[in-house]
């Protein structure tokens, strides 16, 4: 069974246009920073913080696809196999976002200083005589930061390409050969170990939590993981539905869409659980060094985003995606997938921006333009990877199980 | 409920059962129920059973739990026995969310379990007629209600033609009743 995807002209043009918008926005940002009469520290911080926000967001939501393949392989699940090429294609392009993220992170750590020669995004880079930051120095220092970032991003990029390469190699293996299956099975265990130590713990500490370096939360990484996971599911959903609309992925039916819809619903609730757990413990114990985080976000200049975040990411999914027909309806799930991706983009926005920007935050041409640029890179790279192989993993030993799959 | 006459057909293979179900339905007979020793995937669709509204009931039970928790706790802490805890306001909603969540789950779970028992007519202390002693062992037992417009012999002959291994005609109580397994069934008592 042969199912080839060819990039339609419209998708190609859209992705090119989005990338062009992103590049133009970046150039305009640089120009306005250099030429602007009133460019001050807040504008400089905004320039870098927005790039950081989008790079972190896109890296984390694409890495979820690798996590998903590994988790399903390790559980010997079959429900993903019918559209396995989609998470594979997304995971194989993690290296692009990882590279961009690494460049931006190193530019901020080593290059970015405000007019007082302080790093206002990662304050631990220039601790001065701040006792708290000096006390955290063994962990929060540029050498450790660079080391961990390179190792994590390198491993994610490698595993994303490795899983896809192995899955493609299975196509030319003898029929019903399980050698590669067990190879992927073993490596999935290794990847989950790596992922648990990176995305679920250390990586968000370095990239996001150290922006407000005085504050810490022990479940912050789980919270960012849940946020990335639900957006990652929504991203896969959008690709699967797009490919179905193009006449590809004939074997994928409403049962598979229902599965993804269930995950979007369930992980939204899981995200709310973690979001609320973090909030309530800080609210209840009322320690000044902890409440400073929510003082800015809930009662300060970010209260609009704080409440919008809760409504978009909890109230909407739970009410709209609760019923079974809604999860099997292409329009509802597409709409909710876009809403969820936007909502969690906002969630990351309110994790990152309050530290460097304070009350000077904007969601304006620059923020939207950079987001569009990243979306363009995602669409172009993933669609190009999708064209390179048969969309049906014909030789996968789980394929029959995947096709007759029923989502009750 | 009601005492009715049933034609009972026992099959020993689910591969025979599925075409039989199809034939019975297309011939216009009404299937009362099918008893199988294990959950047979796809049988509910083959029988034409609709998806139940159990989950809508569950949603309503959950809402009852939420409103009970929020209403009761807020009544206690704001009007019945207002005490300041840790400098929090009397109406300290975030602190109540865990209890509200628990009560929502409890109401939904208990309510749905009881509704499930009611819909399937199963409950501790409740008895139902057993059509075939091997229906929980190795036989798939299809039960068809015989109305007064149908002839018993024709139904039995038809069921045998679909591949049934054993057939019988039984008069039995269709629903459930309170009782013990060692007692006689109500229609047997009524008949003496």
Tell me if B97 and A276 make a contact (CB, 8 A cut-off).
Answer: yes
Instruction: Indicate the pLDDT class of residue A60, thresholds 50, 70 and 90.
Output: very high
Cα distance between residue B171 and residue B143, in whole Å: 12
Residue B128, domain member (yes or no): no
State how far residue A284 is from chain B, nearest Cα, in angstroms.
Answer: 7
Closest chain B CA to residue A324: B55
Q: B85 with B143, same domain?
A: no
Instruction: Identify the band that residue B172 occupies on the pLDDT scale cut at 50, 70 and 90.
Output: confident
Could you say which of B41, B55, B95 has the minimum Cβ distance to residue A284? B95
User: Could you say which of A283, A322, A324 has the minimum Cβ distance to residue B94?
Assistant: A283
Per DSSP, A110 falls in state I
C-alpha A320/C-alpha A332 separation (Å) is 8
Count CA atoms closer than 13 A to A295's CA, side-chain side.
11
Q: Are B71 and B176 in contact (CB under 8 A)?
A: no
Contacts of A58 (CB under 8 A, 6+ apart): A97, A374, A377, A378
Chain mean position to CA B73? 35
Whats the size of chain B, residue-wise?
192
Q: In the numeric block, which tokens belong to residue B81?
A: 């026995």
The rounded distance, in Å, linking the Cα atoms of A113 and A370 is 22
| Per-residue pLDDT at A113 | 86
Tell me which of A31-35, A78-82, A278-282, B94-98 is least confident: A31-35
Predicted confidence at residue A327, as pLDDT, reads 93
| pLDDT greater than 80 at residue A1 | no
Percent of chain A with pLDDT over 90: 79
Q: What backbone torsions phi and psi does residue A35 show, to the nearest 5 degrees?
A: -95, -25
Confidence of residue B191 (pLDDT cuts 50, 70, 90): low
**Would an 8 Å CB–CB cutoff place B149 in contact with chain A?**
no
The reply to whether residue A279 touches residue B55, judged by beta carbons under 8 angstroms, is: no
Domain containing A298: what range?
9-403
Q: Is residue A207 part of a domain?
A: yes
For residue A37, pLDDT over 80 is answered with: no
- Please judge whether B87 and A280 are an interchain contact, meaning their C-beta atoms are less than 8 angstroms apart: no
Beta-carbon separation of A284 and B55 below 8 A: no
Tell me, yes or no, whether A229 lies in a domain. yes
Give the model's pLDDT for residue A38. Answer: 63
What is the pLDDT, as a whole number, of residue B30?
Answer: 87
pLDDT for B190 equals 64
Q: Which of B41, B51, B97 sits opposite A280 (nearest CB)?
A: B97
- Interface A-B, measured as beta-carbon pairs within 8 A, has a size of 20
Q: Work out the angle between the directed axes of helices B14-26 and B152-161 (0-180°, nearest 10).
A: 140
Average of per-residue pLDDT across A26-42:
82
Beta bridge partners of B127: B177
pLDDT at A62 over 70: yes
Domain shared by B62 and B110, yes or no: yes
Q: Which DSSP helix (H) or strand (E) runs through B4?
A: strand B3-11
Question: Position of tokens 């034939």?
Answer: B23
Average pLDDT over residues B104-114: 96
pLDDT at B192 over 60: no
In degrees, rounded to 5, the angle at the alpha carbon of residue A240 between the alpha carbons of residues A400 and A390 is 60
The interface residues of chain A toward chain B in range 281-340, judged by CB-CB distance below 8 A, are 283-284, 286, 322-324
Q: Is the CB of residue A362 less than 8 Å away from at least one CB of chain B?
A: no
Res. B150 pLDDT band, cuts 50 70 90: confident
**B51 Cβ partners below 8 Å, 6+ apart?**
A324
Q: Do B94 and A406 touch (CB under 8 A)?
A: no
pLDDT of residue B177: 82
Residue A250 near residue A3 (C-beta atoms within 8 A): yes
pLDDT at A226 over 90: yes
DSSP class of A301: T
pLDDT in the model for residue B189:
65
Statement: residue A256 has pLDDT above 90: yes
Could you tell me if B127 and B181 are in contact, meaning their C-beta atoms sit under 8 angstroms apart? yes
- Count Cβ atoms below 10 Å from residue B139 Cβ, excluding itself: 21
pLDDT at B181: 63
How far apart CA A310 and CA A55 sit, in angstroms, is 23
Domain count of the fold of chain B: 2
Whether B130 is covered by a domain: the verdict is no
- Mean pLDDT confidence for A139-144: 93
Of A280, A322, A324, the CB nearest to B94: A280
Indicate if ipTM > 0.85.
no
Among A255, A258, A283, A306, most B C-beta atoms within 10 A, so best to mutate, is A283
* Res A39: pLDDT: 63
Task: Supply angle C-alpha B138, B141, B142, rounded to 5.
Answer: 155
Nearest by CB to A279, from B51, B59, B94: name it: B94
Tell me whether residue B134 is in a domain.
no
DSSP structural state of residue A300: S
Which of A337, A275, A341 lies closest to A61, judged by CA? A341
Residue among A260, A307, A296, A235 nearest A87 (CA)? A235
Q: Is the pLDDT of residue A359 over 60?
A: yes
Tokens standing for B142?
A: 């299809």
Tens of pLDDT, residue by residue over A278-323, are: 999 999 998 999 999 999 899 989 999 999 999 999 999 999 999 9
Condensed to tens digits (0 to 9), the pLDDT of residues A313-350 reads: 999 999 999 998 999 999 999 999 999 999 999 999 99
Q: Bigger pLDDT: B127 or B190?
A: B127
Most confident of A336-340, B38-42, B44-48, B82-86: A336-340
What's the whole-number mean pLDDT along residues A356-361? 87
Domain annotation covers residue B29: yes
Question: How many Cβ atoms sit within 10 Å of the Cβ of residue B111?
Answer: 18
- pLDDT for B87: 86
**Whether residue B152 sits in one domain with residue B106:** no
Which string of DSSP letters, residue by residue, matches A351-382? HHTHHHHTT----SHHHHHHHHHHHHHHHHHH
Asked if residue B11 has pLDDT above 60, the reply is: yes
- Structural domain harbouring B159: 3-45+139-191
**Tens digit of each residue's pLDDT (9 = 90 or more) over B175-185:** 888 877 666 66
Q: Let me know if A368 is exposed, middle or buried by CB neighbors in 10 A (0-12, 13-18, 19+).
A: middle
pTM of the prediction?
A: 0.89
| Overall number of domains in chain A | 1
- Using DSSP's 3-state secondary structure scheme, residue A174 falls into coil
The enclosing domain of B174 has a CATH number of: 3.30.70.790
> Residue B122: what pLDDT?
86
Average pLDDT of chain A is 93
> Which residue in B128, B152, B177 sits closest to B8, CA to CA?
B152
A-chain residues within 8 Å CB-CB of B98?
A: 280
B97–chain A Cβ distance below 8 A for any pair: yes
The pLDDT of A352-381, averaged and rounded, is 93
Residues in A closer than 8 angstroms to B95, CB to CB, are 280, 284
Q: Does A240 fall in a domain?
A: yes
Which CA distances in Å does B22 have to A3, A254, B9, B124? Answer: 35, 24, 14, 34
Given a cut of 60, whether residue A393 has pLDDT beyond it is yes
Please report residues of A whose CB lies closer than 8 A to that of B88.
284
């Amino acid at each position: 069974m042969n199912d080839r995807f060819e990039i339609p002209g419209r998708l190609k043009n859209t992705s090119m246009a989005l990338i062009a918008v992103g590049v133009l926005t970046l150039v305009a940002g640089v120009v306005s920073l250099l030429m602007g009469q009133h460019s001050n520290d807040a504008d400089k911080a905004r320039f870098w913080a927005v790039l950081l926000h989008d790079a972190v967001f896109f890296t984390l939501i694409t890495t979820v696809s690798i996590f998903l393949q590994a988790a399903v392989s390790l559980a010997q699940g079959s429900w993903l196999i019918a559209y396995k090429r989609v998470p594979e294609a997304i995971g194989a392009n993690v290296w692009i976002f990882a590279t961009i993220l690494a460049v931006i992170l190193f530019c901020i750590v080593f290059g970015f200083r405000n007019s007082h020669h302080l790093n206002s995004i990662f304050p631990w880079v220039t601790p001065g005589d701040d006792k708290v930051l000096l006390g955290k120095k063994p962990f929060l220092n540029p050498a450790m930061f660079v080391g961990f970032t390179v190792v994590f991003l390198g491993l994610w990029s490698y595993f994303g390409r490795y899983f896809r390469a192995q899955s493609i190699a299975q196509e030319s293996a003898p029929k019903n050969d399980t050698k590669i299956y067990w190879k992927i099975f073993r490596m999935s265990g290794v990847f989950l170990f790596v992922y648990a130590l990176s995305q679920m713990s250390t990586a968000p500490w370095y990239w996001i939590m150290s922006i407000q370096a005085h504050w810490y939360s022990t479940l912050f990484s789980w919270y960012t993981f849940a946020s990335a996971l639900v957006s990652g599911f929504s991203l896969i959903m959008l690709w699967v539905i797009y490919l179905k609309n193009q006449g590809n992925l004939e074997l994928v039916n409403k049962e598979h869409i229902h599965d993804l819809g269930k995950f979007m619903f369930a992980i939204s609730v899981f995200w709310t659980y973690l979001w609320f757990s973090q909030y309530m413990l800080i609210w209840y114990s009322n320690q000044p060094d902890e409440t400073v985080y929510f003082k800015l976000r809930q009662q300060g200049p970010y209260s609009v985003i704080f409440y919008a975040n809760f409504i978009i990411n909890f109230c909407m999914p739970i009410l709209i995606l609760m019923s079974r027909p809604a999860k099997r309806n292409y329009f509802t799930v597409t709409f909710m997938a876009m809403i969820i991706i936007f909502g969690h983009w906002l969630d990351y926005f309110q994790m990152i921006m309050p530290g460097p920007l304070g009350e000077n935050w904007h969601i304006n041409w620059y923020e939207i333009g950079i987001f569009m640029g990243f979306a363009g890179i995602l669409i172009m790279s993933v669609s190009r990877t999708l064209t390179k192989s048969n969309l049906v993993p014909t030789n996968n030993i789980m394929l029959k199980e995947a096709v007759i799959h029923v989502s009750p | 409920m009601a005492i009715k006459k049933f034609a009972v057909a026992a099959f020993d293979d689910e591969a025979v059962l599925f075409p039989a179900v199809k034939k019975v339905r297309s011939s216009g007979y009404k299937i009362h129920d099918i008893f199988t020793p294990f959950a047979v995937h796809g049988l509910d669709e083959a029988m034409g059973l609709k998806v139940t509204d159990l989950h809508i009931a569950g949603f309503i039970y959950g809402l009852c739990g939420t409103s009970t928790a929020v209403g009761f706790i807020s009544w206690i802490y704001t009007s019945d026995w207002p005490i300041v805890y840790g400098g929090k306001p009397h109406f300290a909603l975030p602190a109540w969310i865990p209890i509200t969540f628990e009560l929502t789950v409890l109401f939904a779970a208990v309510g749905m379990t009881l509704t499930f028992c009611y819909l399937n007519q199963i409950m501790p202390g409740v008895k139902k007629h057993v059509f075939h002693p091997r229906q929980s062992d190795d036989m798939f037992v299809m039960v068809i209600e015989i109305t007064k417009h149908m002839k018993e012999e024709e139904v039995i002959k038809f069921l045998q033609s679909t591949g049934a291994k054993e057939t019988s005609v039984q008069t039995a109580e269709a629903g459930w009743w309170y009782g013990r397994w060692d007692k006689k069934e109500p229609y047997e008592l009524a008949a003496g």
